[in-house]
Amino acid sequence: MKLLYPVSWKDYELIDSGEGEKLERFGKYILIRPEPQAIWRRTLAESKWQQMAHAHFNREQKDHFRFGDEVKGGWKKLQPIPDSWDVNYSYKDLSLTLRLALTSFGHVGIFPEQGENWNFIFDTVSSWNKKGSRVLNLFAYTGAASVVARSAGAEVTHCDASRPGLNWANQNRQQNHLDNIRWVYEDALKFVRREAKRGNKYSGIIMDPPPYGRGPDGEKWTLQEKLDELISLSRELLEPQQCFFILSMYAVGLSATVGLNVVRTHFKNFEEEYGEFFLKPKTGNDLPMGTFVRFRG
């Protein structure tokens, strides 16, 4: 099992974490956001956090150690900060500009630990000696992975059940001066079922499914109930050679071995790597940020 943290970031830094929150720098701005896994004590004093931060997202719920499906709370601006701004990410020949914003649910538009997957995608697609490779990004959010795959030369299908997320992803595409990405506004599992029936194939599949959620027509998604079917259908969609697959999961209580077992049930003859992503501060405790299973073929 591997423990990986992103090393390519200059515009992101985990400063400290603890007592149910994390202190992070995104470009020029420092934010305090909830983090249910940070059950230890902070390294820096709370007064230092408040002094450094530009904005603080307070999540109003009794149980601070697991998130429910309804968000109550909001941002309190402690210093001047715009509602949106850009950060940059660089790796080898990859140079990304990504738009961030203070959303009503406490996210800002990227998950910084995914930088390790972006590097994996860029290296893999760039190494292929074929044209017209197709990559499918499921639960694709604001599209950083889609932009990376497109930058590396793949034809990208980006599927998400959020209209605002699709609009945000298109802004990221435009900011990086890329041409067309195929946008699909649909429940990911429904889309994959239909693609399998059509016999469509992809050279790469990326997925970062949430623990729970709703599709455009109210479809209920629960990770434990639906993941096996999703991976099974993905096997039908994935090309057998010059391919890659990435499963990321951020679900408190599910180990990396859970994802590995599901993937191994359906994908044979691939050498997987699996483990945990984490964020590494200059001082203080490492912060776990979910699990991954991925392979190249």
pTM (predicted TM-score): 0.94
**All residues at 6 or more sequence positions from 266 whose CB lies less than 8 Å from its CB, including other chains:** 231, 232, 234, 235
Whether pLDDT at 295 is above 90: yes
What's the chain's average pLDDT?
A: 93
Asked if 76 and 89 sit in the same domain, the reply is: no
Residues 69 and 185 in one domain: no
In a domain, 189, yes or no: yes
Closest CA to 38 of 17, 62, 16, 67: 17
Q: What is the CATH number of the domain that holds 44?
A: 2.60.40.1180
Burial class (CB in 10 A: 0-12, 13-18, 19+), 106: middle
Residue 272 has pLDDT above 70, yes or no: yes
- Phi, psi (deg, nearest 5) at residue 199: 80, 20
Work out the number of other CB atoms within 10 angstroms of the CB of residue 76: 11
- Write phi, then psi, for 178 (nearest 5 degrees): -105, 150
Residue 214's pLDDT band (boundaries 50, 70, 90)?
confident
pLDDT of residue 221: 79
**Is residue 40 domain-shared with residue 100, that is, in the same domain?**
no
| Lowest-pLDDT choice from 136-145, 244-253, 275-284 | 244-253
Q: Identify whether residues 106 and 65 lie together within a single domain.
A: no
For the stretch 39-76, pLDDT in tens is 999 999 999 999 999 999 997 655 544 545 455 679 99
Is residue 4, in this structure, part of any structural domain at all? no
The confidence score (pLDDT) of residue 122 equals 98
Q: Please give the tally of structural domains in the chain.
A: 2
Query: Looking at the domain assignment, is residue 180 inside a domain?
Result: yes
Is there a single domain that holds both residue 149 and residue 262? yes
Report the distance separating Cα 270 and Cα 281, nearest Å: 34
Where are the extended beta strands (E) located within 144-197? 155-160, 182-185
* pLDDT 10s digits, 103-115: 998 999 999 999 9
- 120 and 219 fall within a common domain: yes
Q: What angle do CA 54, 60, 63 make, to 5 degrees?
A: 120
Half-sphere exposure of 96 (CA within 13 A, CB side): 32
CA atoms within 13 A on the CB side of 260: 12
Residues 36 and 127 in one domain: no
Instruction: Tell whether 68 and 179 lie within a shared domain.
Output: no
187 with 268, same domain? Answer: yes
Q: What is the dihedral of CA 170, 173, 175, 177, to 10 degrees?
A: -140
With respect to residue 179, please indicate whether it lies within any of the assigned structural domains.
yes
Domain C-terminal end among 67, 82, 97: 82
pLDDT at 132: 84
Report the alpha-carbon distance of residue 295 to residue 280 in Å, rounded.
Answer: 24
Domain extent for 57: 10-82
Q: What is the mean pLDDT of residues 128-136?
A: 89
Same domain flag for 62 and 112:
no
